[in-house]
Structure 1
C-alpha cells in the first residue's frame, strides 16, 4: 500500500481501468473455482458414485445452500440418466465445464486488457513528468549528477515500475481472491481435511518471506549500477574524438567493463534470489499435496467419509491454491523491485528547483531602460567567482567583457539569463529584479549565442525555429544571410531542410557557429548575449560575421564576452575583469591609452 501511495497521483487518472480490472479478476477467481468444483459431478457420473435423487429439492435458505446445490445437480443427473441414459448426463456436465472454463479465461483476458491501459498510461505520464522535470531543473543539478543515471531512471526504472503495477493488482486482488474462493470451496467439501492442510501453510509462508527479505536492496544496487555504465557510454559517445586522439580507448573500455562486471554480479544475485521463489513454492506445495494424499486417501479408503470424486476435486482445489501462491511470491519480488525503482524515479520528481518562479511572477514583454548588476557575488562551490561586482548596461549600448579564463565573464551571462541565481546582490532589468520575473518571459527578451554551438539532430530550419517558431522560410534565409551562413546552406542538397546530424556533426565548426548565430538573429530579441560567439570561425568568416553582428547590434543592447579582442574594439564599453572584479573599463582607445591590463592583453594577441 505504501508503494501505491507513492504512485497514487499517476494511477488516479486511470483508476477506471484499475476498477474494471478488479471486477474482471473477481469473476475470474469465481469461475476458476466453479470450473474446478464442476468436475465433481462428472467424476461421480463416470464412477457411479453420485447419490440418486428423484424428487426435486426445495431451497430453504443460504445455510443449506451446499446440500441444496448438491441435491439439485444429482436430481438433474438422475432424471437425465433415467430418461436419456448416463451418456447424456455426462454430455451436460462436459458442456457446463467448458462453459465455466470459457468464462474463466474470458474474464482473465479482460483483466489483462484493462490493466494494460493503466500500466502504459502510468508509464507514459511518469516519463513525461520526468522529462519535464529534467528540463526545468537548474543547470547546477546536472553538474552533480551523471547523465547516464538520469537516462537509466527514465527508461529502465520507469519500465520496472510499469511491470510491478500488474504484480501489485495480482498481489492484492487476483491471486488472493483465487485462493480465497478455493479455500471456501475446500471448506464446503471437507472441513476436517482443510483444517489439516492449513497447518502447513504458515510454515510455507514464513520460508518464502525469508527468501524475499533483502530483494529491494539488491534491486536498488542493480538499477544504480545500470546508471553508472550508461553514464560511461554517454560520456564515451560525447567525447569519442578526444578518446581516440589520446589513445584512451582501453581506459574507458576498462571502466565500462568494471561497471558491467559489477552489474553482472549484482544481477546474478538478484535473479538467483527471484528464481528461488518458484521452485521453493512448488516443493512446499508438493509436500502439502503429499500429506493431503495420505490423509485424504485415508478418509476415502478407510473412513469412507469422503467420495472419490470429492477427493479428486479437493486435490485440484489444493493445487489451485499452490499456483496463485507461487504467483504471489513472484509478484512480491516484482513489487519490491518496483518499489526500489519508484524511489529512484520519485527522487528526481521530488527535487525542488531553487529557480522556480515566485508566486505572482511578472510577465515582462519589453525592455526600456537598462540592465543593472548591483554588487553581485557568486560562487559555484566554495570560492567566489564574482565579488561585489556592479555594472550598468544601458539600452541600445554594447558592453564587452574581457579577461583571462576564470575571471567570471561567462558566469555573468549565466546569471543574467538566470541559469544560476546570485548569492548576494541583485540583477535588475528596467529596475525589476529578474527573480521577480517569469523565467520564460526573461529569456524571451534575450538572444544567446554560446561558445559551444549547440545544435540538434534535425534540419537547419528546425534548429533555427527554436528562436522563433512562427518564422517563415524567407525570415530564416534572411537570418542565415546576416550570419554569413546562407553561402554554404544554399549549396546543401536540401537547403534549409538538410539534416545536420547529431550535434551538427555533418558541418564544420565554423558552419555550426554561424547557424547558432543565425538562430539568435532570427529570434530578434531586444537583448543579445554573445559568449565567445565568433570563437569557432576562421579569420575570413569572423570578419564577415563580425560585420553582420555589428549591424545587428545597432540600437540593440548587447553583452559581448570575447576572447579575441579584435571583435570588440567598437563596443561602447569594454570591461576588463580579473578574478571576479573589474580591473578597468572604458572604450578601446581609452584603455589603450591607459596602458594597463587591457593593453597587455591586446599586445599578447599582437593586435594593432
Structure 2
C-alpha cells in the first residue's frame, strides 16, 4: 500500500480535482444506496402492520433517526389517506428515485476516473520516452534493447491494466465499506465490533498471497524482457542465422526462454486466480459466523435487534463483503502492477550523466578553433583515451586513423557531448563544452555515421529530420548536393516515398547519400564523418565521396577513416593506438617519419 501511495503522489497531482470529484460522487452514490434500503425497513414494517402508524409529524433533522421517523410519517399519511396499495407505489417511486441518484453519481464518479486513469498512463509513457532520449549512450550499452522495449510496452500496459483499472475500486470500495459500517454501527455497535474481530484474519491471509504475487510478477516481466531481446537480436541477425544454418540453435535458445516464461506465468496466474475463491470463501465464512452470532442474540433476546432489522443488518454486512472481495482482488492486481512499476522506475530513476548547467552559455556559431586539452576518458573504470591534446582550426579537416578499438569514435563523440571527459577539457571558441547549452552545441555539429541511421518515413522527412521551417526547394537542393536526387525521383512517389524500416528498400550507397543530404540540410559549421565510405562498393564510394567533398567545403571536419586513401588530403592526420595519440601530421610528414602510419599505409598499399 505504501508503494501504491508513493506512485499516486507522483502522478495524480495534475488530476487532483478530478480525484476529489470522484470521491465526492462515490460518496454520494454510497449514501443514496445505503439510505434507500435503510429507510425501506421501517417503511415496510408500517406497511405490513408490524409497527404502529406514525400520526404526529416529527421535526426534520439531518440524522439517520430523523430521516427514518419522517419517512415513517409520510408512509403513515399515505396509508391513512389512500390505501396500503398506494403506499406500496409511494415506496416504489422512492426506491426508483434513490437508485437513479445512486447510479447517476456512480457514472459521474467513473467519468472522472477515466480521465485520471488514462492521463496517468499517458504521463508514465511520456516520462519514459523523454528519459530514454536524455540517457547517455552508455546506458544502452549495458541494457538489452528488448528489455527496454518491454518496459516501455509490456510494463506500462501492466501498470495500466493492474493499477489504473483498479484505481476506481481502490477509491469506491472503501467509501462503500465506510458508509455500510457507519449504518451497521448505528443499527448495532456490539455486533459490528464482533465483525471487526473477524476481518483482520482474512486481511492477513490475502496480504500474504498478494506479496508472493508481486514477486512472481517481477520475474515474469523480467523474463518477457529477455524474450523480446532474443526476438530483436534474431530479427536483426536473420541473414546470419540462415547463412550459418543456425535455425535450430536460435529456436532452442528462444524456446528455452519461452518455456521459462511459461512456468513463471503459471505460478503467477495460479496465485492470481486464487484471489477470488479465497475472498469468496473467507467472506462466506464470516457471514455464517455473523449469522450464528447475531441469530443467537435474537433467539435469546440479548441484543437490541429484532428479526427484521437483523435481516437488514445482514444486507448491509453483505454490502461490505462484495466491496471487500473486489478490494482484495484489486490489491492482487496492484501488487502485480507495482512489480512492473519497479522495472519502469529503473529507467526513470537512472541518473543522467550528461547534464546542463543552470547558467549555461548560448552559442550560435563556430568562430575560431576546437581544443582538446589533456583529455582522458574511461568507461566503467576502463581507460579508453589517455591524455589527448589537439587543436583544430576553423575550416580545417582533421582525420583520425588507427586500428579498431583505438578510441577514434570515442574521441569525436566527446565533441557533441555524447559522453563527458573523465579528465581534461574540450574547448570551443574559448568556452568549455560543459559550460554551453547542449542543444546549441549540437546544432553546430553534423553527423554522418558508418552505418546510416534512417527512419521508416519518407525521403523528404528523413532529409528534413529535426529541422523546422523546411521548404521543398531546400530539401531538393540538399539531395542534389548529396547525389541523391536522381535515385529519389526514380521511385514511385519521389520525395514522398517511404524508405522502409531503417531504409531497407535502399542500397548501402543510397542510404549513405541520404544521410549526407540530411547533414547538408542542417548546414552545420562542424562536421563529423565516421567511416562514411568503409562499407560501400567502388561505384557507390565514388558517388558518396563526391558528395562528401561538396559537404566538407568551408566546414571544419573531423573524419574517422580506415582507408587511408580517403584522408590523404586532410590538413592533419592523427594516429591513435590503444587510446593514445602516437603521431600527427600531414600525409607526407607521417610517411616520412616511418612510424605507425607508414606501417598502416604500406599494409593497405600491399
Q: Is TM-score (shorter-chain normalized) higher than 0.5? A: yes
Please state how far the C-alpha of 1:513 moved relative to its aligned partner: 1.0
CA distance in 2, matches of 1:133, 1:205: 38
- Do the aligned partners of residues 574 and 203 (structure 1) sit closer, same or farther apart at CA in structure 2, a change above 3 Å counting? closer
- Equivalent residue, structure 2, for 1:334: 333
Is 1:36 aligned with 2:34?
Answer: no
Q: Tell whether the 8 Å contact from 2:376 to 2:386 is kept in structure 1 after alignment.
A: yes
- Equivalent residue, structure 2, for 1:256: 254
- Do the aligned partners of residues 43 and 280 (structure 1) sit closer, same or farther apart at CA in structure 2, a change above 3 Å counting? farther
After TM superposition, the score normalised by the length of structure 2 is 0.93
CA distance in 2, matches of 1:268, 1:221: 12
CA distance in 2, matches of 1:335, 1:469: 43
Q: Aligned runs of 1:134-533 on 2, under 5 Å?
A: 134-162=132-160, 163-165=162-164, 167-168=166-167, 170-171=169-170, 173-297=171-295, 303=301, 306-466=305-465, 468-533=467-532
- Equivalent residue, structure 2, for 1:98: 96
- Do the aligned partners of residues 488 and 286 (structure 1) sit closer, same or farther apart at CA in structure 2, a change above 3 Å counting? same
Please state how far the C-alpha of 1:196 moved relative to its aligned partner: 4.3
- Equivalent residue, structure 1, for 2:24: 23
Is 1:536 aligned with 2:560?
Answer: no
- Do the aligned partners of residues 381 and 207 (structure 1) sit closer, same or farther apart at CA in structure 2, a change above 3 Å counting? closer
Which consecutive residues of structure 2, in runs of 5 or more, have no partner in the other structure?
none
Q: Tell whether the 8 Å contact from 2:39 to 2:71 is kept in structure 1 after alignment.
A: no
Please state how far the C-alpha of 1:199 moved relative to its aligned partner: 4.0
Q: Tell whether the 8 Å contact from 1:45 to 1:90 is kept in structure 2 after alignment.
A: no
* Aligned residue pairs, count: 603
CA distance in 1, matches of 2:246, 2:563: 32
CA distance in 2, matches of 1:578, 1:54: 103
Please state how far the C-alpha of 1:110 moved relative to its aligned partner: 1.3
Please state how far the C-alpha of 1:467 moved relative to its aligned partner: 5.7
Please state how far the C-alpha of 1:515 moved relative to its aligned partner: 0.7
Please state how far the C-alpha of 1:341 moved relative to its aligned partner: 2.6
Please state how far the C-alpha of 1:499 moved relative to its aligned partner: 0.4
Q: Tell whether the 8 Å contact from 1:274 to 1:333 is kept in structure 2 after alignment.
A: yes
Q: Tell whether the 8 Å contact from 2:128 to 2:152 is kept in structure 1 after alignment.
A: yes
Is 1:589 aligned with 2:588?
Answer: yes
Structure 1 vs Structure 2 CA RMSD: 2.4
Q: CA-to-partner distance for each residue in 1:130-157, whole Å, 9 max, x for gaps?
A: 1111001110111111222222222232
CA distance in 2, matches of 1:491, 1:125: 43
Q: Aligned runs of 1:555-566 on 2, under 5 Å?
A: 555-566=554-565
**Which range moved further: 160-169 or 239-248?**
160-169
Q: Tell whether the 8 Å contact from 1:513 to 1:536 is kept in structure 2 after alignment.
A: no
Q: Tell whether the 8 Å contact from 1:377 to 1:385 is kept in structure 2 after alignment.
A: yes
Q: Aligned runs of 1:122-133 on 2, under 5 Å?
A: 122-133=120-131
- Equivalent residue, structure 1, for 2:55: 55
**Which range moved further: 588-597 or 273-282?**
588-597
- Which secondary structure does the structure 2 equivalent of 1:570 belong to? coil
- Equivalent residue, structure 2, for 1:86: 84
Q: Tell whether the 8 Å contact from 2:398 to 2:574 is kept in structure 1 after alignment.
A: yes
- Do the aligned partners of residues 593 and 106 (structure 1) sit closer, same or farther apart at CA in structure 2, a change above 3 Å counting? same
- Which secondary structure does the structure 2 equivalent of 1:51 belong to? coil
**Which range moved further: 259-268 or 459-468?**
259-268
CA distance in 1, matches of 2:417, 2:535: 25
Which consecutive residues of structure 1, in runs of 5 or more, have no partner in the other structure?
none
**Which range moved further: 196-205 or 444-453?**
196-205
CA distance in 1, matches of 2:289, 2:323: 20
Q: Tell whether the 8 Å contact from 1:460 to 1:500 is kept in structure 2 after alignment.
A: yes
- Which secondary structure does the structure 2 equivalent of 1:569 belong to? coil
